[in-house]
Amino acid sequence: MRKIYLVGFMGSGKSVIGRRLSYFLRLPYYDMDREIVRQQGMSIPEIFEKYGEEYFRKLETDFLLNFRDEACIISTGGGVAVNEENRKIMRRTGLVFFLDANFEDIYKRVKNDKNRPIVQKSTKNELEQLYFSRKKYYHLAGHIRVLTENRSIRQIVEYVAFQVNRLKGE
Ligand code: S3P
C-alpha cells in the first residue's frame, strides 16, 4: 500500500489528524518536521537561522526522496507542496490529502507559536498573503481536498479513512 500524505498551511491540523488517523487505520505515523529535526539534531528555528530557508527546503525534498518505503501516514510541513518536485514525489508514492482550513482559524492556532520561524517574522497580513499564494499549490498537490471548517477531528479522520479505503485498490 502507498503512503498517505497530509498537506496544507501551517495550523491546518495535519499533525493532529495524522496522529488520530494512525490509530484509526493502524498505520505508522511520521511528522516530517519532527523527522528532520531528529536527523539534523537542531530545531526548525535553529535550522532556519543557521543555514537559511533554502537549505531547509532541500532537507524537505531529501526526506521525501529517501524516506523508507512503507505504508504510513506522513504530515508534511506547510511549505512542502509549494515545490513541484515534492508534489510529484508525493503523488507518485502515495495518496495526498489537502487539509483546507480558513485563514482566521489557522491564525488563531499559530499566532503565538515560537517554533514556526515564518510566523515569527511575519505580520498577520503577510501570513494571510502567503496563505492565499500557496493555496493553488495545495490544490495541485492533493488528490483529495478535505474541508475542515466546522468539522470535528473525528469527522475529518473518518472522512479521510473512508477515502483511503475507497481508493486503496487504484
Ligand atoms: C513551514 C511550516 C512548518 C515548518 C516550517 C516551515 C512553512 O510546518 O515546516 O516552519 O513554510 O509553512 P507546519 O506546517 O507543520 O507548521
> Is residue 13 in contact with ligand 1, taking CB distance under 6 Å?
no
CA angle (37 as vertex; 135, 133 as ends), nearest 5? 10
Kindly report the length of the chain. 170
pLDDT for 168? 82
CA atoms within 13 A on the CB side of 22: 16
Using CA atoms, how far apart are residues 80 and 64, in angstroms rounded to an integer? 10
Distance CA 82, CA 155 (A): 27
Q: Which residues of 33-45 are buried (b: 16+ CB within 10 A; e: fewer)?
A: beebbeebeeebe
Question: CB of 116 closer than 6 A to ligand 1?
Answer: yes
Determine whether the shortest distance from the Cβ of 44 to ligand 1 is under 6 A.
yes
State the closest ligand 1 atom to the C-alpha of 60, by its place in the atom list counted from 1.
9
Sequential pLDDT tens for the chain (170 residues): 589 999 999 999 999 999 999 999 999 999 999 999 999 999 999 999 999 999 999 999 999 999 999 999 999 999 999 999 999 999 999 999 999 999 999 999 999 999 999 999 999 999 999 999 999 999 999 999 999 999 999 999 999 999 999 988 67
What is the pLDDT, as a whole number, of residue 1?
Answer: 55
Question: Are the C-beta atoms of residues 157 and 17 closer than 8 Å to each other?
Answer: yes
Shortest CA distance to 77 belongs to which of 20, 140, 31?
A: 31
User: Which one of 53, 118, 132 would you pick to mutate in the ligand 1 pocket, going by the greatest count of ligand atoms within 8 A of its CB?
Assistant: 118
